[in-house]
């Protein structure tokens, strides 16, 4: 009788160790994705890291309940997105956004840019982010996920758990709206 | 007109802009910080807190095993079951003066268990609880005259107070003076 109890406890410990290892693998694999999803909403590195960290903590607490572990990334994206939106609402009063120096510009290119170019690049980035922020939530998420880590339609479809056709149409609509709002960028750079 | 050519961005150009805007990496401290957070969650809540129901189930199973083990142990003092109790004797039994007849009259309508508890209260238990319970049952049964005591040795004589000890007469002690030492 006692052997059965010991075996039961032993199997539980083993199962938890396997879960720990699996979670660690998922964490290493998805940390950048979670951060970028949060960053796309918050545009502030510290906040984005906080939110991504919170999402991982939440994921850890519920990891055991996730039946299909291959859905982890989609699950994490949804959680991070929600948490980031919550944080954004909480941060409404914060007026100071991250300095545009955070805007990634290739190092070699940046060296060649003079002050005016840097200012222009910052301005373009701000306008792009503002245009993305104006998109409806569903379109915004598609644009963001399609812009992270080279996700194709199939991957975005899997992350959002919607058909590929839906992703395509959402992406089409999102790009259309963005192009309308950002058309001045082309004209000003070409002019 | 105003020098602005209202050309649209191409999909590729827009995608490049977006990818560049999202090409921000977390700081090098990010991953260690997440791991530390997970470790602290583990410390606070235990390993995978949502699996606590499984641990609760395991704990319940172990407890059940322990309880069943205790229940199946043999009773170390079966004395209470071995007391021979006979139906109340009407007239054939000789009148035996019970040691404490009063408890028998207490709450006769109550269950036998309650009567027994009342009956044993006056006794001070200075032996093991099992033996005490056995003795109390015995006394109660004798008090209720449910046990035939005619075959027992004479209890009355055993219960008699001991005879007083006679006074011991001792001869007075006389102390003789010491003989004078030599040379005094």
- In tens, the pLDDT along B66-120 reads 666 666 666 555 545 544 555 554 544 444 455 555 554 444 445 455 445 455 5
- CA A13 to CA A31: how far, in whole Å? 26
Is there a single domain that holds both residue B58 and residue B94? no
Answer whether A101 touches B (CB < 8 Å).
Answer: no
Is there a single domain that holds both residue B61 and residue B120? no
Structure tokens that stand for B61 in this block: 């199973």
Cβ contacts below 8 Å, chain A against chain B, sum to 148
Is there a single domain that holds both residue B90 and residue B48? no
Task: Work out the angle between the directed axes of helices A2-42 and B30-45 (0-180°, nearest 10).
Answer: 140
* Residue B160 included in any domain: no
Is there a single domain that holds both residue B84 and residue B143? yes
CA dihedral A172, A177, A182, A186 (to 10 degrees): 50
> Would you give the distance in Å from CA B135 to the centre of its chain?
22
Low-confidence ranges of chain B (pLDDT < 70): 1-8, 45-125, 151-159, 180-184
Domains A1-94 and A112-191 share a fold: no
- CA A22 to CA B125: how far, in whole Å? 62
CA–CA min distance A104, chain B (Å): 6
How much is the average pLDDT of A73-96? 85
- Look-up of token digits 């959402």: A170
CA–CA min distance B74, chain A (Å): 17
How much is the average pLDDT of A152-173? 93
CATH number belonging to the domain at A112-191, selected among 3.60.150.10, 1.20.1250.20, 1.10.10.10, 3.30.1330.60: 1.10.10.10
CB A76 within 8 A of CB A34: yes
Q: What is the pLDDT of residue B20?
A: 87
* Residue B10 included in any domain: no
Q: What is the pTM of this model?
A: 0.55
User: Chain A contacts of B54, Cβ < 8 Å?
Assistant: 12, 15
Answer whether A81 touches B (CB < 8 Å).
Answer: no
- CA B22 to CA A140: how far, in whole Å? 13
CATH code, residues A1-94: 1.10.1740.10
- How many distinct structural domains can be found in chain B? 2
Is there a single domain that holds both residue B86 and residue B35? no
* Residue B184 included in any domain: no
How much is the average pLDDT of A69-87? 92
Boundary residue ending a domain (B71, B106, B129): B71
Domain residue limits at B107 = 79-149
* Residue B9 included in any domain: no
Boundary residue ending a domain (B15, B41, B71): B71
Hey, which residues 136-155 in chain A have their CB within 8 Å of chain B?
143-144, 146-148, 150
Q: Which of A28, A36, A179 shows the shortest C-beta gap to B14?
A: A179
Q: Which has more pLDDT, B119 or A146? A: A146
- CA A1 to CA B66: how far, in whole Å? 9
Is there a single domain that holds both residue B141 and residue B119? yes
Disruptive mutation site among A5, A51, A190 for chain B (greatest number of B CBs within 10 Å): A5
Q: Which of A36, A185, A191 shows the shortest C-beta gap to B22?
A: A36
Q: Domain ranges for chain A, please list them.
A: 1-94, 112-191
- CA A50 to CA A84: how far, in whole Å? 9
Could you give the C-alpha distances from A43 to A99, A171, B34, in angstroms and in order?
10, 21, 20
* Residue B168 included in any domain: no
- CA B90 to CA B101: how far, in whole Å? 17
Q: Which has more pLDDT, A9 or A20? A: A20
For residue B61, give the nearest of A63, A12, A18 by alpha carbon. Answer: A12
């Amino acid at each position: 009788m006692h052997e059965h109890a010991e075996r039961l406890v032993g199997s539980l410990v083993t199962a938890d160790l396997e879960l720990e290892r699996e979670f660690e693998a998922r964490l290493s694999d998805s940390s950048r994705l979670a951060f970028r999803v949060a960053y796309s909403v918050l545009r502030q590195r510290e906040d984005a890291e906080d939110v991504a960290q919170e999402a991982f903590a939440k994921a850890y607490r519920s990891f055991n309940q996730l039946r299909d572990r291959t859905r982890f990334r989609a699950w994490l994206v949804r959680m991070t997105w929600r948490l980031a939106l919550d944080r954004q609402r909480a941060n409404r009063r914060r007026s100071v956004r991250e300095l545009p120096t955070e805007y990634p510009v290739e190092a070699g290119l940046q060296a060649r840019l003079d002050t005016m170019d840097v200012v222009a690049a910052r301005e373009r980035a701000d306008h792009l982010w503002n245009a993305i922020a104006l998109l409806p939530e569903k379109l915004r998420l598609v644009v963001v996920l399609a812009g992270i880590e080279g996700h194709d339609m199939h991957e975005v479809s899997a992350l959002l758990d919607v058909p590929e056709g839906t992703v395509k149409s959402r992406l089409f609509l999102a790009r259309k709206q963005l192009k309308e709002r950002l058309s001045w960028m082309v004209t000003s750079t070409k002019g | 007109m105003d020098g602005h050519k209202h050309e649209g961005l191409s999909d590729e150009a827009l995608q490049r802009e977006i990818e560049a805007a999202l090409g921000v990496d977390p700081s090098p401290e990010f991953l260690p910080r997440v791991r530390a957070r997970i470790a602290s969650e583990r410390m606070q809540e235990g390993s995978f807190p949502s699996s606590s129901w499984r641990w609760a189930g395991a704990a319940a199973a172990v407890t059940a095993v322990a309880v069943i083990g205790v229940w199946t142990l043999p009773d170390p003092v079966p004395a209470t079951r071995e007391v021979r109790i006979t139906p109340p004797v009407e007239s054939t039994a000789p009148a035996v003066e019970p040691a404490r007849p009063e408890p028998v009259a207490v709450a006769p309508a109550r269950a036998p268990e309650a009567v027994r508890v009342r009956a044993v209260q006056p006794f001070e238990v200075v032996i093991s609880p099992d033996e005490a319970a056995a003795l109390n049952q015995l006394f109660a049964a004798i008090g209720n005259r449910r046990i035939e005591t005619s075959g027992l040795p004479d209890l009355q004589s055993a219960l008699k107070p001991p005879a007083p000890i006679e006074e011991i007469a001792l001869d007075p002690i006389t102390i003789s003076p010491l003989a004078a030492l030599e040379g005094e």
